[in-house]
Amino acid sequence: MRAAPARHPPPWTADYPADVSTTPASERAAAAISTGGAAELPKAAAEPASGWAQSTVVVTAGRPPREQGAPVNPPVVLSSTYVSAGVPGPGDRVYARYGTETWEPLEEALAALEGAARPGLIFASGMAAVAAVMSLVPHGGRIVMPRHTYQVALQHARELTRRSAITVDLVDVADTDAVLAALSAGPRPDLLWLESPTNPMLEVADLAALATAGRAAGAIVAVDNTFATPLGQRPLALGAHVVVHSVTKYLAGHSDVVLGAVLVDDANLADQLSAYRGTHGAIAGPWEAWLALRGLRTLALRVHRSATTAQQLAERLSSHADVLEVRYPGLPGDPGHDRAASQMTGFGSVIALRPRGGLDAAEALASAVRLWVPATSLGGVESSLERRRRFSTESPTVPEDLVRLSVGIEDLEDLWSDLDQALRAVQR
């Protein structure tokens, strides 16, 4: 049997390089001790209360404690079960469906970004998070929600009308008076579901006014903050009880992971959602949680870059001869602009576009682009587009020729020239 190769001393030890030093090892060790040995480390300060900007928090939150030799990134722990004898206490780790140390850094980071008082809860997907929040509505209860809510969230609510005798009232969320009227009409609402800007129509809701009214009406107020991201708006500070994310989109940001999250301040809501997650089992895998946290580290850069590009593209598209209509809250003429400017810190990176030539032209855009990826979803580093009504489940009030653009981080001029040539090509 061959002997195991000798381990080389690492370059930071007193024994390195062992064969060239003329100083005896004992003196070198003493020198290392007399110069202080391990340096005193500053205390870890990646706490939300530190007052750092969100662009700093995306980098610092959820790091392991700053100790000599500790990893900078949290490890991925792959274990479905934990050593556990006797009756477990409330905080004990027992089984990975109830919680793992690989979820926790992401849950802490998301809470820090949304300004939540307690760690977030991550779920297997954005839809699993949506379903968890909707599970708070009792049998026979009532939900008020935007008619242009993300279509699958709406589908889920409709399913609840069949299964749990829940009433769903759809509203134009940009029309504050209409939402107030819906809240006060009929039985007490259990849930006011808000999405702003909406997917794909980009309508902007007055979140503070609606959260106040929803609370006064006795409803849980939940905001799907996927489009804005916590860097664009913080619904808990505007009065919401619950924030929901499809982490799949901007937060993870690389179109390589499906994940969701819920953020709440209230302990009772957190307990209910955590119990739901543990029993329904729509949990995140550790790799997905880790990948999402890695993606989150560049959120500020990505969001800033893609929103700046989206603004430029929206402006150019507004005066393009082959474009009928552009919706983007950053355009001064957009119906949602003033509200977005007052409650958001950025206008996001989704543009809704209607090309001249109707449904056929809109559909043809997907095969005419070379750089933009014809694909569903949004919030990735790559720019993508799709005609939303290609899905039979999309709301019939979304125009048939509406194309949703998700602007990524590529070069502005490359994106523009590809879109411009595609818009021209589909007219021929």
- The helix/strand/coil state of 382 is coil
- Letters for 96-125 (x = contact with ligand PLP by CB under 6 A, - = none) are -----------------------------x
Q: Going edge to edge, which strands form the sheet with 220-224?
A: 121-123, 260-264, 242-246, 220-224, 191-195, 142-146, 167-171
**224 in active site:** yes
Is residue 385 part of the contact set for ligand PLP (CB under 6 A)?
A: no
Rule CB under 6 A: say whether 423 interacts with ligand PLP.
Answer: no
Shortest CB 157 distance to ligand PLP, Å: 12
Q: How many angstroms separate the CA atoms of 366 and 385, rounded? A: 7
Distance separating alpha carbons of residues 101 and 92, to the nearest angstrom? 11
Distances (CA, A) of 61 to 45, 73, 91: 9, 10, 21
Residue 127 near ligand PLP by CB under 6 A: yes
Instruction: List the beta bridge partners of residue 353.
Output: 326, 403
* Angle between helix 267-280 and helix 126-134 axes, rounded to 10 deg: 120
Tell me which of 63, 234, 249, 339 is the catalytic residue: 249
Spatial distance between the Cα atoms of 137 and 156, rounded to a whole number of angstroms: 13
Q: Would you call 97 a catalytic residue per the annotation?
A: yes
Distance of CA 49 to the CA centre of its chain: 21
- Could you say which DSSP state residue 27 is in? H
Does residue 294 have an active-site annotation? no
Among 108, 114, 224, 334, binds ligand PLP (CB under 6 A): 224
Window of 101-109, 162-170, 224-232, 310-318 that interacts with ligand PLP by CB under 6 A: 224-232
Backbone angles phi, psi at 194, to 5 degrees: -125, 150
Among the residue ranges 38-46, 78-86, 177-185, 223-231, the one whose residues contact ligand PLP (CB under 6 A): 223-231
| CB atoms inside a 10 Å sphere around CB 282 | 16
User: Which residue sits closest to ligand PLP, CB atoms considered?
Assistant: 126
The nearer residue to ligand PLP, 54 or 255, going by C-beta atoms, is 255
Residue with structure tokens 């001869």? 321
Per DSSP bridges, beta strands 403-406 and 191-195 are: unpaired
Mention every residue, 6+ apart, whose C-beta is less than 8 A from residue 102. Answer: 74, 75, 76, 77, 286, 289, 290
How many distinct helices (H) and strands (E) make up the chain?
13, 12
| One of 199, 311, 349, 395 touching ligand PLP (CB under 6 A) | 199
225 lies in the site for ligand PLP, by CB under 6 A? no
Binding ligand PLP (rule: CB under 6 A), the pick from 62, 105, 126, 330 is 126
Whose Cβ is closer to ligand PLP: residue 250's or residue 372's?
A: 250
- Binding segment for ligand PLP (CB under 6 A), chosen from 89-97, 219-227, 294-302, 365-373, is 219-227
Q: How many CB atoms lie within 10 A of CB 116?
A: 25
Q: Considering the rule CB under 6 A, would residue 258 count as an interface residue with ligand PLP?
A: yes
Structure-block tokens of residue 164? 């749990």
Within positions 260 to 279, which residues make up the interface with ligand PLP, using CB under 6 A?
A: 260
Give the count of residues interacting with ligand PLP (CB under 6 A): 16
Q: In angstroms, what is the minimal distance from the CB of 258 to ligand PLP?
A: 5
Minimum distance, C-beta of residue 244 to ligand PLP, in the bound complex (Å): 7
Contact set for ligand PLP, span 310-349 (CB under 6 A): none
Active site residues: 97, 150, 224, 249
Which residues contact ligand PLP (rule: CB under 6 A)?
125-127, 130, 150, 153, 195, 199, 224, 226-227, 246, 248, 258, 260, 377
